[in-house]
Amino acid sequence: MHRASWVLGGAAAAAAIYGPTVDSAFTWFYVPLSVVYAGLIEWLDRRLGLRERVRWSLTVAALGNLAAGVLVVGGDQFYVYPLFGPVWVDDVQHFTAAAIASWAAWDLLRALPERSRAFVAVLTATGLGALIEVGEFIGWSLFDTNVGGYTDTMMDFVVNLAGATLAGVVSFVRSSAERERPTA
């Protein structure tokens, strides 16, 4: 098992201890989800051979998800903490995770032509974001998860798409620039 998986597993174990001590409402959800993420990253690595930076980036996204869901700030889950104006930690986490997913998909789709690769990477990350929203909806339907309803879901879709698109465009532009760079 890779070090990144151990880091994520260790963080999940720490969250499993921390969460109940501060009455973090969703420790029971985010800790097992983090273990699933660690297993998924391991599986992707075995099947597709993740590059080191991709593996660690996916791990950072999973760690951000764990922290946002388990940490308690001001008596509430960290993901509902306002950062500035209408922007919450949840928005930043969705944007960052979608950007990382898009970049990881870009890296894994090396065999595709660059334009197709950028488009498929953005669609992949946006689709994963939609699956997460389905999970949030199920959680909201079954439990009082404080995810904010329709407005929160739409904002999550917007920031997921923005993060995925930014990463897709940056990856495409960087790749094009590297390809056109003269060699010595």
How confident is the prediction along the chain (184 residues), in pLDDT tens digits per residue? 889 999 999 999 999 999 999 999 889 989 999 999 999 999 999 998 889 999 999 999 999 999 999 999 999 889 889 999 888 899 999 999 999 999 999 988 888 888 889 899 999 999 998 988 887 787 777 777 666 677 778 888 999 999 999 999 998 998 888 777 666 5
Helix (H) / strand (E) containing 38: helix 27-48
pTM of the full structure: 0.83
Residues in a beta bridge with 152 = none
Report the DSSP beta bridge partners of residue 77: 72
Identity (one letter) of the amino acid at 133?
A: E
Which token pair is 7?
């880091």
Q: How many helices (H) and strands (E) does the chain have?
A: 6, 4
Query: Exposed e or buried b for every residue in 149-180, given b needs 16+ CB within 10 A?
Result: eeebbebbbebbbebbbbbbeebbeeeeeeee
CA 163 to chain centre: 10
